[in-house]
Structure 1
Amino acid sequence: MPSSRTPAWFLPSLLAVTVTAALVAVPQAGEPAPSSSTVPLAAEQPKPAQGKTAQGKPGTKPRPDARDVVLAVHGGAGAALDRETTTPAREKAYRDGLARALRAGQQVLDRRGSSLDAVEAAVKVLEDDPLFNAGKGAVFNADAAHELDASIMRGSDLAAGAVAGVRSLRNPIEGARLVMEKSRHVLLAGEGADDFGQRHGLTTVTQDYFWTQARWDALMRAKETARGSKTAAASPEALADEQSKGTVGAVAVDGRGDLAAATSTGGLTNKLPGRIGDSPVVGAGTYAKNGTLAASATGAGEVFIRGAATSTISNLMEFGRLPLASAAYEVVVKRLPALGGDGGVIALGPDGDFDAPHSSPGMLHGYLTEDGTVVTKVFPDESPANS
């Protein structure tokens, strides 16, 4: 239901927020890049929800990570970035990537646009960034090809669309939305999905568009590992790439209280051709329902499918009457690891409660609050794994 608060996007354009450590400075459109000056973290970091205890501390009651959130994104679960091997420039690149996605979504919300438009805009930015495993940064499959998956869902009426195994759509999330709005189906796969997008005017590319050195090196290392070789060396850039493997996604709530979620991925390095994970599966990798939550998942796709991860969180909220953080914790931290896989979700409620539980060592993610503050988390100690 719509919030009684006056949403921030009804106010004049917000100033860019200068951040450091867990926050990142991002210029508004048309503004010059900020200088190296920063403000103390305490001056910018939003206060956690009242009574929140440290994430990952055994025996603590799950609490939302933040309140008054209108948009959140993730860049994949895994080991996140390692402080010992990640250069300041590399750290900044990841923070900037997450923040650009948040600002793209914010521009939609500032215009009183829909949450659906906001999550699509945010995910497109991440798909265009080669640092993330989606779109331009997609990993290679075992045949040294790229097969991409994406899905999108609107919480007001449970409308959803998805594409799987596409090879020529530059932005698979656009294909997912097209399936939702221009077909009577929910999921199209392979050549049919590519052709459907092309017929409706989506930008298409050849496979070499998705090629990056870091992803190629990751494929070579994966194949050497599969052959039993232990000699494959990794450059600092390739190591950082490996540490940030995963999926991208976004969740949002707009001024009408409508929720939306979107997820996009290149899948697993060296995966079998035709493999489809949870990202394009509604109820597993993506779910949005007004009154409960919008959620986007990242992690062990097969396990998230088997556990119907995101829809189960919603069901625990609706039928089990659990609060958002407790429901997300129950699924991501307690149930899914028991099935043999780890990962995380970003989960946003209609009241602005936000949580990002994960059983993996880390999860790249960030969020935007009503007052325009951007928070990004790229190191494991910024968002410790829940236990």
Structure 2
Amino acid sequence: MARPAIAIHGGCGVMAQLDLSEAEWSAAREDLARALRAGWAKLQNGGTAVDAVEAAVMVMEDSPQFNAGHGAAFNAAGENELDSSIMDGATLAAGAVCAARRIRNPVSAARALMERGDSVMLTGQAADRFAEEAGLRVVDPSYFGTERRRKALASMQARAKAGTTLTASEAEKHGTVGAVALDAAGHLAAATSTGGFTNKPVGRIGDSPIIGAGTYARDGACAVSGTGKGEVFIRHVLAHEIASRMAYLGESLDAAAEQVVMRDLAPYGVGAGLVAIDAEGRIAAPFNTDGMFRGWIDRDGRLAVATHAEVFELGAA
């Protein structure tokens, strides 16, 4: 029997402290803790790692604090296009949806597709239709938008006209949520969900639904969920690269994750972060930005959440 553990992220690049009020930072930390407890409850009640990562991501998709589901970023047309994926490290089964417009919890649609087993990814209207036929909750697209994201879109479009996009804050640009877990049977899983980046081109797909780029899990190695500039993550097959470094070079999870985030991506000058867990339940959460929404419940059942450098230890889960 393994000792379960879970880790989550809610996006990197977090942002100057002044970007949000202290009440908003506190609300985000509270929702991180809620997501962790939702996943932990699955693990403690005999659920699988897949159950745990789905449950944790669903909480963050339902929270307006994060760029996934309710509160997702708007594309250039002022619409929400949602991407998500999930992977079972025990079997390498995976599912993903992208450019979805009506699925309340895209991670659940990704799981349903994984379990159907005849394809890995569906896009756009086909993804929405699949979710509805699978009995999952679908909503009017207006559900996903929030005033905060509308302001971010207006800001980014103004910056685009002025040629100052590169000076935008991380809060204006993007975000992603994700979870990784190890269950009592020793199996690993990962899931990721996002609205992409603010003012993205219509139809743009990032790394979050791409198996091996934003999401990867393999028993005996690790489970990874990433957040950052998706185009670079795709080219580096980032999540799979960490598993490969561990398998082929014998690196520890910390060493492999540190190498990829801090050194391999350094020439691109992009914000990047991830959460990862290995077969023993060790957790890594490197990021190269000012902060990253993140949290974990370790093998001893201790819960912690963080946004910037300070880690808030919340005691037993």
TM range (shorter): over 0.9
- Asked if 1:354 is matched to 2:283, the reply is yes
Aligned partner of residue 351 in structure 1, secondary structure: coil
Q: Distance in 2 between matches of 1:284 and 1:85?
A: 29
Identity %: 45
CA contact under 8 A between 2:173 and 2:198: conserved in structure 1? no
Aligned residue among 270, 275, 285 for 2:214: 285
Give the structure 2 partner of residue 143 of structure 1. Answer: 77
Amino acid at match of 2:229: A
Q: Is the 8 A contact 2:95 2:121 kept in 1?
A: yes
Partner of 1:161: 95
- Equivalent of residue 328 in structure 1, options 254, 257, 272: 257
Deviation at 1:182, TM superposition (A): 1.3
**Residue 215 (1) aligns with residue 144 (2):** no
Task: Confirm or deny: 8 A CA contact 2:152 2:172 kept in the other structure.
Answer: no
Structure 1: 5+ residue stretches without partners: 8-68
Distance (whole Å) between structure 1 residues aligned to residue 20 and residue 202 of structure 2:
32
* Counterpart secondary structure, 2:162: coil
Determine if contact 1:80/1:378 at 8 Å carries over to the other structure: no
Q: Which amino acid aligns with 1:377?
A: A
Give the 5 Å matches for 1:1-387: 2-3=1-2, 7=3, 70-80=5-15, 82=17, 84=18, 86-228=20-162, 242=171, 245-380=174-309, 382=311
Amino acid aligned to 2:267:
A
CA distance in 2, matches of 1:322, 1:370: 21
> Shift in Å at residue 106 of structure 1?
0.9
RMSD (Å), alpha carbons: 1.9
Report the alpha carbon displacement of residue 145 of structure 1 after superposing the two structures with TM.
0.5
Counterpart-to-counterpart distance in 1, 2:143 and 2:187: 35
Aligned-partner residue type, residue 200 of structure 1: A
TM-score by length of 1: 0.76
Q: What do residues 34-85 of structure 1 show as CA deviations (whole Å, max 9, x unaligned)? A: xxxxxxxxxxxxxxxxxxxxxxxxxxxxxxxxxxx70011000113451x45
CA contact (8 A) 2:155 2:172 kept: no
Does structure 2 retain, via aligned residues, the 8 Å contact 1:81–1:378? no
Give the Cα–Cα distance (whole angstroms) in 1 for the partners of residues 200 and 189 of structure 2: 29
Aligned mates of 2:148, 2:163 — CA distance in 1? 19
Could you tell me how far apart the structure 2 residues matched to 1:382 and 1:181 are? 36
CA distance in 1, matches of 2:112, 2:124: 15
Q: TM-score, normalised by structure 2?
A: 0.93
CA contact under 8 A between 1:78 and 1:243: conserved in structure 2? no
Amino acid at match of 2:36: L
Report the CA distance between 1:245 and its aligned residue: 3.8
Of 365-374 and 113-122, deviating more is 365-374
CA shift in 2, pair 1:376/1:141, >3 Å: same
Q: Tell me how far apart the structure 2 counterparts of residues 85 and 120 of structure 1 sit (CA, whole Å).
A: 29
Instruction: List per-residue Cα deviations over 1:276-325 (Å, max 9, x = no partner).
Output: 00000000000000111010000000000001000000000001111111
Distance 1:76 1:347 in 2: 14
Q: Which has the higher helix share?
A: 2
Deviation string 1:182-236 (CA, Å, 9 cap, x unpaired) is 1411111111111111111110011110110000000011111111188xxx9xx
SS in 1 for 2:139: coil
Maintained 8 Å contact 2:272/2:288: yes
| 1:331–1:273 CA distance, 2 compared to 1 (3 A) | same
More strand by share: 2
Cα 1:85/1:287, change in 2 over 3 Å: closer
Give every structure 1 segment of 4 or more consecutive aligned residues whose post-TM-superposition deviation is greater than 6 Å.
none
Q: Output the amino acid matched with 2:59.
A: V
Number of residue pairs matched by the alignment: 309
Contact 1:155–1:259, Cα closer than 8 Å, also in 2: yes
Distance in 1 separating the partners of 2:112 and 2:39: 19
CA distance in 1, matches of 2:66, 2:31: 9
1:323 alignment partner AA = S
Mapped partners of 1:361, 1:303: distance in 2: 19
How far did residue 372 of structure 1 move?
2.8
Amino acid in the other structure paired with 2:139: V
Shift of residue 380, structure 1, vs aligned partner: 4.1
Q: CA deviation at 1:332?
A: 1.0
